[in-house]
Chains A and B, each alone.
Chain A
C-alpha cells in the first residue's frame, strides 16, 4: 500500500500540469463551497465537459479533490449565511449559524477547518487500505444480479434523503429513473420517449441535467430571494478556537469518524446521512441536549468531522463496485464514462495508476484543508463581496457553455434550463434534487444489470435469490422501504 501511495504521490507531484489541476481543485472546491448560492457541485458540473480534454487520472483526481475540499467549503456558507453549500453541510448550520449570530463565526469556521481535515485524512487512510481488497473480493462475487440489487438498495436508501416527506423522496428518485429511460433501451436499442427529436435518441446527457438540477436551480432560488428582497448579507469576524477548546471535543471527533465512514460506504447516501447521524449522535451522547441548536461548538465539530469522513468511504462503492455514493461521485462516474472507462472492480487492474493518483490526491487534499483552509477563510471575505447580480449571470453563462460544449448541441442548453426550472419548482415543493440525480445516474445501470441478471437466471427469481449477496441486498432494500413506509403512516409531521 505504501509503495503504491508513494507512486501515486510521485505521479501527482511529478508533472507541473497535474500539480496545477490539484491546486485548482483544492482552491476551486473551497472557493465554490464557500460562495453562497453555488457549491462544489456547481463547479464540478461546470468542469465536467472540460475533463474530456484531461487524462482519465487527471479528470477523476480533480473531482475527488473538489469532493474533499468542497465538502469542507460548504460549511463556510452554512456557518456564515445559514446556506449549506451542500446537503451534507446542513447540520453544520444548526449550531454554526447561531454561533455567527453570537459573533463567534471564527470559532465555528476554525473548528470546521480542523475537523474536516481530521475526518478526511482518517477516511482517506482507511479507504487506501480497504478499497483494493474489497475490489478483489467484488470481482469474484459480484455480477449483474448483485449490481442490480445494490442499485435497488442504494435507491431505497437515497429516497430517504432530501425530500420533505418519504413520498417526495420516492417521487424524486422515480423522476430521475424516468428521465434515465429517455433514449435507446440498453438491450434492444429501441428508441424510447424521444418525442420525435432525433437528438434525444442518445438520451438526456448527464452534464446538462446535472447542471440544470443543481447549479441553475440554485441560482434561481437565490434570484427569487434577491427579487423578493430576502437576501441578507451576514456579519463576520475571525477569532479561531483555541487548542483546548477543540481538545475538549476529541471523543465527538472519534465518534463522528466512525459514523461518517460507515455511512459513506452506503451507496446513494454518502456524506449527507453521515453529517446528520454524526450530529444526532452528538446530541444523543450530550449531557445537556438543550444547548444544541443554540450555537454549540460540538454540533459543528460532529457534523463536519462526519461528512468529511464519508468522502473517502464514498469512494469505496464507486471504485470497487461502480456505484456512486452521492451527487458528486455520480459525476465522477460520468468522468469515467467520458474516457470510455467503467468504475468497478476491473479498474484496479486496468488502471492502477489512476486509482493511486486519486487516493494520494484525496489524502493531500484533506491535509490542504488544514493549511489552506485557515488562510482561505480570511481571504474568502473579499470574494463574498462580489455582488450577486454579477455572480449569477457569470455562473449561468459558464453553465450554458459547459452544457453546450459537451456535445455541441443547443438542445443540451435548453435541457439544462428546463431542468433548472423543474429543479427550482421541485425544490420549492420539498422534493429532493440529489434523489433525482441519483435516479438519473443509477437508472441506466439498474436497468442494464436487471436485464442481464434476468437473462443470466433465465427469468427464474428463485435463482436470483439463491445468490446470498443479492438476497441480502434486496431484503435490506425492501426493509428500508418498509421502514420508510411505516414512518410515512405513523410518524407525526414536524411542528414548525
Chain B
C-alpha cells in the first residue's frame, strides 16, 4: 500500500467515477456538428480523459510520497490541518451543518422564503452549537427583519413564495401587507 491512506483511495475512486459516469453520459449527446469536426463531445471527453489520467497521478503521488503538501506549492495553506473527528457526535454536528442549508434550499419551492427562513436561521444556529434560547430567538428575529427590510421593502426583490398551504398564504399575507405599507407612503 506504500503511503496510501483510505482518503487517498476514496479520492481516486471519486475522480475516476466522475470521469466514467460523465463519459458514459456523453454518448447521449454524441451528435455531429456540420461546421465543427470535433462535435459536442470532443472537448468534454478530452477533459474527462485528462481527469482520469491526473487522478491516477494523484494516486501514485500519494502512494510514493504520502498525503503531505508538496514543497514550494504557491497558495497551499500549509498550516491548515484538517480537523480530526473523534466521535460520532462530531460527524453528526458537521453533517447537520452541511445538510441543513441544502434542505432549506430544497424546501424553498414548496415552503417559500418568507416562512422557511426564520426556521432555517434558528436551526442553523442550533446546529452550530448555540443553545441560549433568548440568543437564538432575538437573533433570528433580527436577521429576518434585516433581510425583509432590505430585500422585500427596500429592494423589492422577488423572493420564492412557496406553493403549499399554509406557507403560500403566509407569503401572500406578507406581500399584501407590504403593498398596503407602500400605499401609505
Contact = CB atoms under 8 A, between A and B. Distances in A.
A426 B97 CA distance: 16
A174 B50 contact: yes
A164 B125 contact: no
B51 interface: yes
A226 B78 contact: no
Contacts of A434: 75
B169 interface: no
Nearest to B160: A410
B129 A193 contact: no
Interface of B is mostly: helix
Interface string A227-244: 110100000000000000
Interface in B129-171: 129-130, 135, 139, 142-143, 146-147, 151, 155, 157-160
Given A167-B61, A397-B147, A488-B57, A421 B98 contact: yes
B58 A168 contact: yes
Given A178-B47, A227-B129, A408-B158, A429 B11 contact: yes
Interface string B89-124: 010011001100110111011000100010011001
A487 to B, nearest CB: 7
A152 B23 CA distance: 22
Sort chain B's interface into a size bin: 35 or more
A429 B70 CA distance: 13
B105 A193 contact: no
B76 interface: yes
B129 A414 contact: no
Contacts of A417: 101-102, 104-105
B184 interface: no
Contacts of A487: 70, 72
A413 B146 contact: no
Contacts of A390: 139, 142-143
A274 B151 CA distance: 38
A430 interface: yes
Interface string A416-456: 11101100100011101010000000000001001100110
Given A413-B108, A421-B98, A434-B75, A393 B90 contact: no
A457 to B, nearest CB: 12
A170 B54 contact: yes
B44 A496 contact: no
Contact of A272 (B44, B70, B75, B108): B75
B29 interface: yes
Nearest to B151: A401
A174 B47 contact: yes
A330 B111 CA distance: 34
Contacts of B68: 164, 493-496
A398 B39 CA distance: 40
A83 B61 CA distance: 28
Nearest to A84: B77
A34 to B, nearest CB: 19
Interface string B63-94: 00111111111111111001100000010011
A417 B105 CA distance: 8
Sort chain A's interface into a size bin: 35 or more
B83 A228 contact: yes
Nearest to A193: B25
A188 B40 CA distance: 7
A387 B127 CA distance: 15
A47 B68 CA distance: 37
A369 to B, nearest CB: 23
A171 B54 contact: yes
B105 A454 contact: no
Nearest to A273: B74
A227 B117 contact: no
A228 B76 CA distance: 23
Contacts of A163: 73, 75-76
A118 B108 CA distance: 47
Interface of B: 7, 11, 15, 18, 22, 25-26, 29, 31, 33, 35-41, 43-44, 47-48, 50-51, 54-55, 57-58, 61, 65-79, 82-83, 90, 93-94, 97-98, 101-102, 104-106, 108-109, 113, 117, 120-121, 124-125, 127-130, 135, 139, 142-143, 146-147, 151, 155, 157-160
29 contacts: A50-B155, A161-B74, A163-B73, A171-B15, A174-B54, A188-B35, A195-B25, A220-B98, A224-B94, A387-B135, A389-B125, A390-B139, A393-B121, A393-B139, A397-B121, A401-B157, A410-B108, A416-B105, A428-B82, A432-B75, A451-B36, A451-B38, A451-B43, A459-B37, A491-B72, A492-B65, A493-B69, A494-B68, A494-B71
Interface of A: 50, 82, 84, 87, 90, 93, 160-171, 174-175, 177-178, 181, 185, 187-188, 190-193, 195, 216, 220, 223-228, 230, 272-273, 276, 387-390, 392-394, 396-398, 400-401, 404-405, 408, 410, 413-414, 416-418, 420-421, 424, 428-430, 432, 434, 447, 450-451, 454-455, 459, 487-488, 491-496
Given A166-B73, A177-B47, A493-B71, 13 more contacts: A93-B79, A162-B75, A167-B61, A188-B40, A216-B101, A220-B98, A225-B83, A227-B94, A389-B129, A393-B121, A404-B159, A405-B157, A417-B105
Closest 7 CB pairs of A and B: A188-B33, A167-B58, A493-B68, A185-B40, A190-B40, A162-B75, A413-B105
